[in-house]
Structure 1
Amino acid sequence: MFDGIQRRVVSMWFPRLASDRVLRTRPVEGPFALTLKQANAERLHCLNMEAERQGLYRGMTLADARAFCPGLFSRPADPVADTGFLHVLRRWATRYCPWVGIEGDDGLVLDITGSAHLFGSEAMMLADMRQRLSRAGLTARIGLGDTRGAAWALAHHGEGRTETGAPLEALSDLPVAALRLEEATITGLQRLGLRRIGDLESAARAPLARRFGPDLLLRLDQALGRQPEQVTPLSEPPHYGIRLSLPEPIGLSDDVMAATSRLLDQLCAKLKAQEAGARVLCLTLRRVDQEAQAVELRLASPLRDAARILPLFARGVGEVDAGYGIDQIRLEAVQVEPLPVHQVSHVSTGRADQLDDLITRIGTRIGLENVQRFLPADSHIPERSFLIAAAAWSEPGGSWVAPRPRPVRLFPPESITGTGARPPRQFRWRRMSLTTARATGPERIAPEWWLPDDNWRSGIRDYWHAETRQGRRLWLFYTPQNPGWFVQGEFA
Structure 2
Amino acid sequence: MSLWFPRLATDRVLRTRPVDGPFVLTLKESNANRVHCLNDAAERQGLYRGMSFSDARAFCPDLISLPARPDQEMRFLASLRRWAMRWCPWVGFEGRDGLVLDITGSAHLFGGEAAMLGAMRQRLSRAGLSVRVGLGQTRGAAWARAHYGEGAALADLPVAALRLDPDTVTGLERMGLRRIGQLRDTPRGPLARRFGAGLLMRLDQALGDQPEQISPETEPPHYAVRLTLPEPIGLETDVMAATDRLLARLCEKLADRQAGARILCLSLRRVDAASQQVELRLARPMRDPARILPLFQRGVSEVDAGFGIDQLRLEAVQVEPLPAQQLAHSGPRDPRRLDDLITRIGTRIGLENVQRFLPADSHIPERSFLIAPAAYSQPEGGWVNLSPRPVRIFAPEPITAAGSSPPERFRWRRMELTLGRATGPERIAPEWWLDDPNWRSGLRDYWRVETRQGRRLWMFYTPQNPGWFVQGEFA
TM over 0.5: yes
Residue type at the aligned position of 1:159: G
Residue type at the aligned position of 2:444: D
**Partner residue of 2:312 out of 329, 339, 361:** 329
Q: Deviations over 1:292-348 (max 9, x none)?
A: 332221111221111111111122222223344333322222222232334334446
Partner residue in 2 for 1:464: 446
CA distance in 1, matches of 2:298, 2:258: 28
- Matching of residue 69 in structure 1 with residue 60 in structure 2: yes
Note closer, same or farther for the CA distance 1:295–1:36 as it changes in structure 2 (3 Å cut).
same
Deviation, structure 1 residue 287: 3.4
Note closer, same or farther for the CA distance 1:399–1:67 as it changes in structure 2 (3 Å cut).
farther
CA distance in 2, matches of 1:132, 1:176: 32
Q: Normalising by structure 2, report the TM-score.
A: 0.89
Partner residue in 1 for 2:149: 159
CA distance in 2, matches of 1:32, 1:324: 56
* Alignment of structure 1 residues 63-462 onto 2, 5 Å: 63-156=54-147, 158-161=148-151, 170-347=153-330, 349=332, 351-397=334-380, 399-419=382-402, 421-436=404-419, 437-449=421-433, 451-456=434-439, 458=440, 460-462=442-444
Residue type at the aligned position of 2:71: V
Q: Deviations over 1:168-209 (max 9, x none)?
A: xx2333333322233444444445444433333233323333
Contact preservation (8 Å) 1:145, 1:161: no
Partner residue in 2 for 1:19: 10
Q: Deviations over 1:236-257 (max 9, x none)?
A: 3333222223333333322222
Q: Which moved more, 1:125-134 or 1:180-189?
A: 180-189
What secondary structure is seen at the aligned counterpart in 2 of 1:145?
A: coil
Partner residue in 2 for 1:5: none
CA distance in 1, matches of 2:454, 2:168: 81
Q: Deviations over 1:392-417 (max 9, x none)?
A: 22222355444543332233333334
CA distance in 2, matches of 1:478, 1:189: 81
Note closer, same or farther for the CA distance 1:248–1:131 as it changes in structure 2 (3 Å cut).
closer
CA distance in 2, matches of 1:203, 1:84: 42
Residue type at the aligned position of 1:465: W
Deviation, structure 1 residue 441: 2.5
CA distance in 2, matches of 1:153, 1:243: 46
CA distance in 1, matches of 2:359, 2:84: 49
Q: Deviations over 1:71-111 (max 9, x none)?
A: 23222322222221111111111222222112222111111
Note closer, same or farther for the CA distance 1:489–1:351 as it changes in structure 2 (3 Å cut).
farther
Contact preservation (8 Å) 2:363, 2:428: no
Q: Which moved more, 1:279-288 or 1:468-477?
A: 468-477
CA distance in 2, matches of 1:412, 1:229: 70
CA distance in 1, matches of 2:365, 2:32: 37
Contact preservation (8 Å) 1:463, 1:475: no
Residue type at the aligned position of 1:118: L
Which structure 1 residue ranges, 5 or more long, are not aligned? 1-9, 163-169
CA distance in 2, matches of 1:282, 1:489: 45
Deviation, structure 1 residue 152: 1.5
Deviation, structure 1 residue 418: 4.4
CA distance in 2, matches of 1:64, 1:489: 62
Q: Percent identity?
A: 69
Q: Which moved more, 1:222-231 or 1:333-342?
A: 333-342
Contact preservation (8 Å) 2:442, 2:465: no
CA distance in 2, matches of 1:274, 1:123: 42
Q: Which moved more, 1:139-148 or 1:231-240?
A: 231-240
Q: Which moved more, 1:32-41 or 1:311-320?
A: 32-41
Note closer, same or farther for the CA distance 1:56–1:442 as it changes in structure 2 (3 Å cut).
farther
CA distance in 2, matches of 1:74, 1:350: 61
Q: Deviations over 1:204-246 (max 9, x none)?
A: 3233334433322222211111111111222333332222233
What secondary structure is seen at the aligned counterpart in 1 of 2:422?
A: strand
Q: Normalising by structure 1, report the TM-score.
A: 0.86
Contact preservation (8 Å) 2:457, 2:472: yes
CA distance in 1, matches of 2:75, 2:106: 26
Note closer, same or farther for the CA distance 1:146–1:486 as it changes in structure 2 (3 Å cut).
farther
Contact preservation (8 Å) 1:151, 1:161: no
Contact preservation (8 Å) 2:268, 2:311: yes
Note closer, same or farther for the CA distance 1:400–1:105 as it changes in structure 2 (3 Å cut).
farther
Residue type at the aligned position of 1:442: E
Contact preservation (8 Å) 2:428, 2:446: no
Note closer, same or farther for the CA distance 1:352–1:48 as it changes in structure 2 (3 Å cut).
farther
What secondary structure is seen at the aligned counterpart in 1 of 2:87?
A: coil
What secondary structure is seen at the aligned counterpart in 2 of 1:335?
A: strand
Note closer, same or farther for the CA distance 1:159–1:366 as it changes in structure 2 (3 Å cut).
farther
Residue type at the aligned position of 1:236: E
What secondary structure is seen at the aligned counterpart in 2 of 1:410?
A: strand
Note closer, same or farther for the CA distance 1:12–1:482 as it changes in structure 2 (3 Å cut).
farther
Q: Deviations over 1:430-478 (max 9, x none)?
A: 33334453141232323242x454434x164324133131443434444
CA distance in 1, matches of 2:270, 2:232: 8
